[in-house]
Structure 1
Amino acid sequence: MSDGLVASLSGAARTYGGVRVLDDVSLDVEPGVTAVVGPNGSGKSTLLRVLVGATEPTAGEVRYTGATGPKPIGYLPQRVPFRDGFTARETLAFYARLVGDDPDAALERVGLGDAGDRHVEALSGGMRRLLGIAQAVLGDPSLVVLDEPASGLDPGMRERAFRAAANRADGDTGVVVSSHALDLVDAHADRIVILRRGRVGAAGPLDPLLDEHGAADASELYRAVVGEPGASRGAADAGDATEGDGEREGSDGEGDEDAEPDVHVTGVSDR
């Protein structure tokens, strides 16, 4: 794994309506998988949007030291409104042409090789999330940021979606993923960032943090840092029940100005 940074936040803050949602957040994104966890309303989605440049920080800065290439950043928001009437292959083909990628190869990468001819409205929720991941990683970006890719899915599809995201991480690619599914964080994350009321409560490689806090797994680490029960380790995650329930329905002050646009081109309109 490379020692070089892919991206970094330095003293990042974001305020909405006088309420500070992010407060002096500094974060280095290295190659591998970085999981961002925290209670609903802790600022996870805002942090990810600041990281990809979709939301301007009120203070601080973002640097993309290792995010290079034709498409340096890939981003999957919590809601991706695919257009009905198009197949999965046609949907990816539109975006693939912009970055010189192969839509069939993109479908294979996330395990949707047999679903290319199915219309997007006929896909299950999990398959739509996988399609969103495929769309976000078109063009082989160096920085991949995925907001709740396993949200609202059954256990098998949660694992499949998270694994598809983690498979993108290598010696040059940093994957940042927010999630309430701490069992998947245990299984796939190299590093973890725990947010608490808009600030970083703990951050670093997962195993040393577990040792430091005397925790057996990510759920125990979460409880030690946040001071409340961790997210569910089963299928019916309370925090995963509905996509987008985290930041917008939390108490962090985010409002309409922080909502996703009605028409969103993943990895294109974000930049």
Structure 2
Amino acid sequence: MTAPVLALEDASFAFGDLTILDEESVAVERGELVALVGPNGSGKTTVLELLAGLRDPDSGTVRRPANAARSTAYLPQSPGFRSGFTVRETLSFYAGLVGGGVDADAVLDRVGLGDAADRRVEALSGGMTRLLGLAQALVGDPPVVVLDEPTSGLDPDVSDSVFDATAALATDDRAVVVSSHDLAAVEARADRVVLVADGAIAFDGPPEDLLAETGAGTLRAAFSRAVAGRELDATAAAPSGGDAQ
């Protein structure tokens, strides 16, 4: 097994009394597509920001690649690009920011935007904007790409295309971490699923292992059972009596 290219080690993070992670660890290797899933409000975006270096953990460490001009690319859920620029110009602009050249047309072909290179960004559909975000993430050839809900709000066919392009990023020996509520796409494409719930990594392994562990037929059903099981465990552990909150 190769050394992980990205890792949280005994990491903790909280917003006041709300614990997102409590001394949790997770590691990602090159060539892996890891899907981060969890209930709304579980802190998936915060975990992605910790991995990408946009936040520092309260304790523990984060290991990211060294000796790379751009070690980690982060794509937020709703990427925005400056109007008035074409798709090709936008990509060239970001290439200038990282201090290197880029074959914009090759990158756009890679994510399925080759025919839209001369289109202005304000004329792009939601799905095409997400694909431009994926292209921007490839600028500088970062060894790690972190994506927050890249298919949120898209219709199923467009969502499938964006997720296919996302999965393809890992085929260049790149580590890709993506949060998503599209559990059917995660089941079909992810190498591993990391379930975040109640301040903990509740599961970390291949989708088929979560299916086997929960006895579910689909990842959506497995997710529901895993989350419900944790809620039942939490209820059972709560103090009894009239003073329980």
Q: TM-score range by the shorter chain?
A: 0.7 to 0.9
Tell me which residue corresponds to 2:47: 47
CA offsets 1:152-187 (integer angstroms, 9 cap, x no match): 001111011111110011373111000000010011
Corresponding residue of 1:8: 7
> Deviations 1:106-140 (Å, cap 9, x if unpaired)?
11111000111111111011110110111012122
Q: Look up the match of 1:89.
A: 88
What secondary structure, in the 3-state scheme, does the structure 2 residue paired with 1:168 have? Answer: helix
SS at match of 2:8: strand
Identity of aligned residues (%): 50
Structure 2 residue identity aligned to 1:155: P
Q: Greater CA radius of gyration, 1 or 2?
A: 2
In the alignment, the residues of structure 1 paired with residue 197 and residue 18 of structure 2 have an alpha-carbon distance, to the nearest angstrom, of: 15
Quick one: distance in 2 between partners of 1:41 and 1:213?
Answer: 23
CA displacement, residues 194-253 of structure 1 (integer Å, 9 cap, x when unaligned): 11123111111222332232222211220121118xxxxxxxxxxxxxxxxxxxxxxxxx
> Secondary structure at 2:129's aligned position in 1?
helix
Q: Would you say the 8 A contact 2:210–2:219 is kept in 1?
A: no
Superposed CA deviations along residues 62-100 of structure 1, whole A, max 9, x for unmatched, are: 012x56532221110112221111111111111123333
In the alignment, is the contact (CA less than 8 A) between 1:67 and 1:73 conserved in 2?
A: no
4+ residue stretches of structure 1 with deviation over 3 A?
none
Aligned length: 226
Q: 1:3 to 1:171 in 2, by over 3 A?
A: farther
1:219-234 equivalences under 5 Å are 219-227=220-228
Q: Which moved more, 1:213-222 or 1:85-94?
A: 213-222
- How many Å separate the matches in 1 of 2:185 and 2:227? 19
2:63 match: 63
1:237 matched to which residue of 2? none
Q: Is the 1:142–1:173 Cα contact (8 Å) retained in structure 2? A: yes
Give the equivalent residue in structure 1 for 2:148: 147
Measured in 2, the distance between the counterparts of 1:129 and 1:15 equals: 30
Whole-Å separation in 1 of the counterparts to 2:109 and 2:193: 28
Structure with more relative contact order (C-alpha pairs < 8 Å, separation 6 or more): 1
Distance in 2, Cα, partners of 1:118 & 1:67: 36
Unaligned runs of 5+ in 2: 230-245
Matches of 1:135 and 1:67, distance apart in 2: 20
Q: In the alignment, what sits opposite 2:204?
A: 203
Cα distance in 1 for partners of 2:199, 2:88 equals 39
Q: Which has the higher helix share?
A: 2
1:254 maps to none
Structure 1, unaligned stretches of length 5 or more?
Answer: 229-271
Aligned partners of 1:76 and 1:132 also within 8 Å: yes
